[in-house]
Amino acid sequence: MSILADGISNGLGMILGFIVGLIPLILVHEFGHFVMAKLTGVWAREFGVGYPPRIVKLFRWRETDFTLNWLPLGGFVRLEGEQTFAEEEKDTEEASPEASAEKEEAFKHSLYAKSPEKRILIYLGGPLMNIIAALVLATLVFTTGIPTARVVIDEVAPASPAAEAHIQANDIIVAINGEKVEGTGDVSLFTQKSLGEPTELTLERDGQTLTVSLVPRANPPEGQGAMGIVISGVENRENLKRYPVGEALVYGTRYVGRIVGVSVMLPVYIIRGLIPIEQARPVGIIGISQITQRSVEDSVSSGAVYPFLNVVILISVSLGIFNLLPIPALDGGRILFAIVEKVRRRPLTPVLEERIHTVTFLILIAVFIFITILDIVAPVALP
């Protein structure tokens, strides 16, 4: 009975993880396309929450219907001239002058009536909004607080200043010369300030606080540091450091920039063997939901939002970069078609382009199904 209860609990947890972690980011992505379409003069006929069939039309704003749909897998924007979810209406009788004028006006505001440059902006809107969302969330992470690091001594070199001061492995460095240590970088910085001078270390050992004195070496033996210790940082969730909004924005931007850099360079890192191939395997909806579920549990248990927000940031950046891949049906593929059109000075017909995107979309669906099965038979190792 407990196994059944655990299974139900895990299933509900994954559904919750999908709802709070992925659906909002897909809607943010589509909202980026919607905003850019508005700015470039393209009509958005529908902004859907979920995928058809439709449950209800929520409201109408100008030419856009905002709808709620049955399949809770994200959302979509249907632009004028883009027949993705609605079949093109066929004229059964001669159109009235009013209808003809309306049809002509609609064509002026259709996707393929716009220049390649404007269409590229529309396609970029989704990924750009994902990156902006990641920046906002990263800033929020640093303002609400991130854990400091407890600096642990892993090794002590024989006959070193640390050994002579009776420092032991597993000691925690709390402060150096009265300055609080919040990371391994602090140890390096404070040590460099006191080379060749008596230096006081405040340590924590077996729950007790003690103070030792040593003199960091300006010219240590090869393979050793100034004090003769090897250190590592361990997350200290009990001590959160909060930053002012200005600093948080700077640190958040740097953090998102690093994620983007690693994501873009991932194939190179894999080829060079810097990242094991098993750690770079694609993760499907189930894997993402499991990771998000774990982050929600971590946030609840720690009483801090950073575990959850950190995962959402990673997903948002990944979603933006993935959609920029030059594959038909993705934003990057549509950008590629627009660039080719600009170079050739002659477009493909909208019908042919949409057919190419549709076929590729079906292939991607098959790939996603395979990845989902992989998530089930070989679950991703949760962090």
Catalytic residues: 30
Question: 294: burial class by Cβ within 10 Å (0-12, 13-18, 19+)?
Answer: middle
Q: Which residues contact 19 (CB under 8 A, 6 or more apart)?
A: 72
Q: What is the dihedral of CA 359, 363, 369, 373, to 10 degrees?
A: 160
- Both tokens of 260, joined, read 């983007």
Bridge partners (DSSP) of residue 210 are 203
Q: DSSP code of 381?
A: P
Gap between the Cα atoms of 265 and 272, Å rounded: 11
Gap between the Cα atoms of 308 and 141, Å rounded: 10
Instruction: Specify whether the CB–CB gap between 217 and 264 falls below 8 A.
Output: no
φ, ψ of residue 28 in degrees (nearest 5): -60, -45
Judged by DSSP in three states, 146 sits in: strand
Question: Is the Cα dihedral 74, 79, 82, 88 positive or negative?
Answer: positive
**CA 210 to each of CA 55, 119, 149, 199, 235: distance values in angstroms, whole numbers, following the listed order:** 67, 65, 19, 14, 22
Gap between the Cα atoms of 16 and 177, Å rounded: 48
- Both tokens of 219, joined, read 């010219």
